[in-house]
Amino acid sequence: MANKVQNPRLVGRRQVLTGGGVLAAVLAVGVWQRTRVVKHDQSILTPAEALQKSQSGEILLIDIRTPSEWRSTGVGSVSVPIDLRRDDFIDALGAAVDAAPGRRVALICARGGRSARLARQLAVAGYPDVIDVSEGMLGSRAGPGWVAAGLPLVPWDG
């Protein structure tokens, strides 16, 4: 009996198409989550309004992104960068608020998702007047964002 040599295809066309479809779905969900506007009851500002209100002393703008994000784009010229992931984030926020008495806190992140969620959490924790800059630095469905609006940035090199 002769041995049959079979074509050792590792991946068939159906598996490639299925895998591509799954990958496309995962990417679509990721894009949707990054660009959707998170609903909350907090006040909202555009980046231009946040810049103006920061310059006039009405608000304290906190950039809650990560150091790698700050390094990548810079930070808003009026922003105080405090990494949301810090173990002592609440203490650092409290120190920034104490250094700027009478100002309301406004939060900005990359696309508005983290700032919206944190605004809700801070309201529950006793910071009732937290404002969300929902467009973020890079834009979202709420608008183009700080960077695209051409608002002033300063380099962050930690």
Residue 14 lies in a domain: no
- Contact (Cβ atoms closer than 8 angstroms) between residue 153 and residue 73: yes
Q: CB of 132 within 8 A of CB of 121?
A: no
Please indicate, yes or no, if residue 24 is contained in any of the structural domains: no
The 10s digit of each residue's pLDDT in 85-112 is 999 999 999 999 999 999 999 999 999 9
Whether residue 27 lies inside any domain: the answer is no
Q: Round the CA-based radius of gyration of the chain to a whole number and report it.
A: 22
Closest CA to 60 of 103, 92, 101: 103
How many CA atoms does the CB half-sphere of 152 hold within 13 Å? 10
Task: Report if residue 117 sits inside a domain.
Answer: yes
Calculate the average pLDDT of the chain: 85
The tokens describing 156, both together, are: 């962050």
Q: Do the domain assignments include residue 7? A: no
CA angle in degrees (0–180, nearest 5) for 133-139-144? 100
How far is residue 131's CA from residue 30's CA, in Å, rounded to a whole number? 25
- Asked if residue 148 belongs to a domain, the reply is yes
93 belongs to a structural domain: yes
24-41 pLDDT tens trace: 556 655 555 554 544 556
Q: Which residue in 109, 117, 118 sits closest to 140, CA to CA?
A: 109
Number of structural domains, the chain?
Answer: 1
Q: With pLDDT > 90 as the criterion, what percentage of the chain qualifies?
A: 64
Q: What is the CATH number of the domain that holds 122?
A: 3.40.250.10
The answer to the question of residue 67 being in a domain is: yes
pLDDT tens readout for residues 134-156: 999 999 988 999 999 999 999 99
Q: Which domain holds residue 148?
A: 43-154
